[in-house]
C-alpha cells in the first residue's frame, strides 16, 4: 500500500487530521489490541490531544459511515466494543518509536508522506481559492453599490414626482373652492 492509498484512511475530526487505531493496526499488520497495548505501555509519549484522543460515540459513527473498510450493523451492541483512539500526525510519528520492526518503519514512512501530501494539497489550493474569493467578494460589493446608487436615483426622482403631484393637487383644490358654490341640500319646490 502506498501513501496515496493511506490518504483514504485519514479523516478530519476536531480540526485535526487523524488515523484510527484499527486502521493503523491494519497497516502495521498487528491486532488493534496489541497496538493499543503498546501505546498504553508508553502512555507518557502520547499525552495530550495533539498526539491521540479517544473518539466519542457520534464521531465513531460518523467516521465508520465514511470508512471504506467497515460499515455499521444495525442493532444494539453489534458494532464496536470500545471507542477507538484517533492518532494525529504527531501520534503516528511517536508510534514509530514504540513499534520497532521493519514493517513499522516502512509503513510509518508512507503514513508520514500521506500526511505531508494532504497538507501540501490544502496549502497549495488556499492561495488560488483566496484570490477567487476576493474577486467574488469584490464583484458582490460592486453589484451592491450599483443597486444602492440605482435605489437612491429612484428615490430622488420619486420624491420629485410626489412633490409635483402634491402641488398639482393643492392647486386643483384651491381652484375648485373658488369656483364652486354651495348648493342647498334637499328637495326644491318650484313655486309659480
Task: Give the separation between CA 161 and CA 155, rounded to whole angstroms.
Answer: 10
Out of 39-48, 66-75, 98-107, 174-183, pick the least confident. 66-75
Q: What is the pLDDT of residues 9-31, one digit of tens each?
A: 888 888 888 889 998 888 888 88
Question: Which SS3 state, helix, strand or coil, does residue 39 take?
Answer: helix
Ordered by start, the domain boundaries in the chain are: 3-126
Higher pLDDT, 128 or 20: 20
What is the reported pLDDT for 127? 61
- As separate numbers, helices (DSSP H) first and strands (DSSP E) second, the chain gives 6, 4
Closest-CA residue to 49 (of 34, 62, 59): 59
CB-based contacts of 133, cutoff 8 Å, min separation 6: none
List, for residues 63-104, the tens digit of each pLDDT value. 877 655 454 455 554 456 789 999 988 888 888 778 777 777
The number of residues making up the chain comes to 192
Phi-psi region of 18 (alpha: psi -120 to 50; beta: other; left: phi over 0): beta
Say what the pTM is. 0.54
pLDDT at position 78, please?
A: 47
Amino acid at each position: 500500500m502506498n501513501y496515496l492509498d493511506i490518504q483514504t484512511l485519514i479523516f478530519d475530526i476536531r480540526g485535526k487530521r487523524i488515523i484510527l487505531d484499527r486502521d493503523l493496526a491494519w497497516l502495521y499488520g498487528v491486532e488493534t489490541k496489541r497496538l493499543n497495548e503498546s501505546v498504553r505501555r508508553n502512555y507518557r509519549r502520547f499525552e495530550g490531544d495533539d498526539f491521540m484522543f479517544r473518539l466519542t460515540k457520534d464521531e465513531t459513527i460518523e467516521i465508520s459511515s465514511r470508512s471504506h473498510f467497515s460499515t455499521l450493523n444495525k442493532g444494539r451492541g453489534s458494532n464496536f466494543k470500545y471507542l477507538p483512539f484517533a492518532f494525529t500526525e504527531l501520534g503516528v510519528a511517536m508510534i514509530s518509536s514504540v513499534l520497532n520492526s521493519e514493517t513499522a518503519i516502512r509503513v510509518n514512512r508512507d503514513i508520514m508522506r500521506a500526511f505531508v501530501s494532504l497538507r501540501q494539497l490544502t496549502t497549495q489550493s488556499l492561495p488560488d481559492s483566496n484570490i477567487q474569493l476576493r474577486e467574488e467578494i469584490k464583484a458582490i460589493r460592486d453589484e451592491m453599490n450599483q443597486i444602492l446608487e440605482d435605489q437612491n436615483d429612484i428615490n430622488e426622482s420619486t420624491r420629485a414626482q410626489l412633490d409635483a403631484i402634491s402641488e398639482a393637487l393643492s392647486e386643483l383644490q384651491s381652484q375648485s373652492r373658488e369656483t364652486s358654490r354651495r348648493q342647498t341640500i334637499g328637495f326644491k319646490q318650484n313655486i309659480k
